[in-house]
Structure 1
Amino acid sequence: MRLPGGERARLTMLYGGLLVLAGAMLIGLINFLVSQGLYTTITSAVARNPDVAPGHSSPLPTAGPASPGPVPVQRDQEALAAVKVFTRAAEQATQNRLLTISLVTLAAFAIISVALAWWMAGRVLRPVGVITRTARWLSGENLHERIALDAPAGELKQLADTFDDMLDRMEHLVGAQKRFAANAAHELRTSLAVQRAAAEIGLATSDPEAVARIRRKLIEVADSSERLIEGLLLLSVSDQGLDHREPVALDELVRTVTAEYAASRQARDHGITVQARTAPMTVRGDPVLLTHLVRNLVGNALRYNHDGGHVTVSVHGRALEVDNSGPHVPPETVPYLFEPFRRLEERRHARGEGAGLGLSIVASIAHAHHARTDAEANPGGGLSIRVVFPGPEEGR
């Protein structure tokens, strides 16, 4: 049965009721034990002190010897009866007095117990109140605030710390979503602005060469916008997790994708060597998403490279590693490359330029497969990106 009122009132009723019940049981036990031996105790006390017996009078001195007869026996019987009456009366009076004092004490104890229970419940629920006020006060603008509960270690302290950890994750996610939305809006707005400007210029001239040039530019921008939208959709799908898993031969997948990029026009035009070094490895996951993961890694390594460079794709143990040559990458910027629309340089809307979603899609697909992704800058330029997949039992 649920008690009425707030949590503090319910805790007060519970604590106070338990304290009063314990006090009543203690007083009842004391009264019971005292009443059990009270008659014997009073009788023994009277027997040891005959001077306190009612009706007792000191014997009067006599001139001669006591006369024989039933008088002494009668006096003893009368004295014994008087002692019994006195003992019963004393016992009853003592029990009544003890019961009265016990009830008064229990009433005072009940009042004190309820007051202490109310104070105790307030102390226990204080962290909950702090958490509640903080949760009501928080919004998207002040997610940096924390409870930082100053209390001894315990369940409520652990709850407050867990709430702070949740706020850390929420702040990170909200910040990432804000940056993602702002960057996506910027990318789409820029593409539309380029298309609008190209269309206005193309419509304002009758030069066939200019019209053809504007036409090519519009097609390039449209292709770039299409790749951007496809990347956003793929990122959204991978963020939702996997609906099913099946065994995927990652080494075969890597060899297939690497062969495609090795024969691509971009690799031939820039003299970039694309090669694979694979050992047998099977992972459980979505083959379509894993294909996108490998394609984005190899395509990103090929796109951000220099003439005569190399791209090496390795599969060994439980790791997929892509190493490439290219421009120097500051080590402090490496962790941010996995965020959407992060690039080393500002976008120029040149032919073949990516949308800045490749590594963020890689990280999202890897997370959906419970894999760990990390990267490090190569001393001579370029990056080494590693995706470590869980073992066969862990990936189920």
Structure 2
Amino acid sequence: MGKMRSGTVGLRFTILYASVFLVSGIALLALTYLLSGNEATTVAPGQQPPGRTGLAAAEQHIRELERQLSTVHAQQSRQLLVGSLIALVVMAVVSLVLGRALAGRVLRPLRLITAATRRVSAANLHQRLALTGPVDEVKELADTIDGLLERLEASFVAQRRFVGNASHELRTPLATMRASLDVAVAKPEPSAQTVALADRLRTELDRVDHLLDGFLVLARAQHGALVDRAAVSLGELAGQAMTARAADVAAKTLTVDDEVRAKAWTRGSPALLSRMVENVVDNAIVHNQQGGWIRISTAHDRSEAHLVVETGGVILDQAQVDRLAQPFERIGPDRTGSEDHSGLGLSIVAAIVAAHGGHLTLRARPEGGLRVAAALPAAAAAEGGIG
């Protein structure tokens, strides 16, 4: 039987059981005491001695006997009361122990249901509680949860199927439109208007393709099983992302403070984790000021691997920053002016971090700018080491 915490149903059951027992015991004790106090003690009359002298002596003797009997009766009542109180205290302790045991036994199926439900995630919705036992309220609750899991599994399967179908169906017309543009421009001496229109349409198609790619990655992170897990270094991914964006950093004359000292090993999907780091770095570059700065660092401890990216800039509202992990959420005109980005960057980061059992923290820096910190479960030393 697990240890009961304060405020749990088990503790309330124990207190209720003990309280009912104590109230019953006190009522029984009071009734016993009242009945014992109403008992009448009579003295059988003795033989009347002759003469008034003998009568006076007899009356004196009777009064003495009555006083002694009253004293004995009072002592017996006190002893009965003390003994009953001691018995009540002992039984109160026993009732608490028994109440705890009974509450634990009654609530044990609920604990099993709670533990099994906590283990359910998008990756194992096929599992069921399958509680055995008599058909009672607890069994009905377990069966209801199993039915809910079955409906959730069907919904997730439908979503994954839709993502797969959408990936194929939407990319096909995009490819067709690109081919049509290429054919139109490839004609002999195309007009300037045709070339300009083709360039504009290619730009819009690139945006749609980028947006579609973001949706697919977000859907995979939120609903897909991570079947390609491997040991991944956040430090190496950060270095690769910064190298790939070196031209954009130079174009904005950004100062990069590279504090990547640890490899910070974690375990997960290499493709998704690489996309996560790329999005964080991309967000720091795109939504930065001309001549601004970026500070990127990695760290690790025994339980987590950390990636932290900070940027300078204007002072942001923390309430708005908290919403950046939602799709299409942006802050201010400086974060909405980018024509080449879908607004899914940090929402994809949040989904990938959550899919790997980590947590993402977004903080508005008091001096201005944004701090993005991702913490993921650290990989075991046998999977690549830590550091």
* TM, length-normalised to structure 2: 0.46
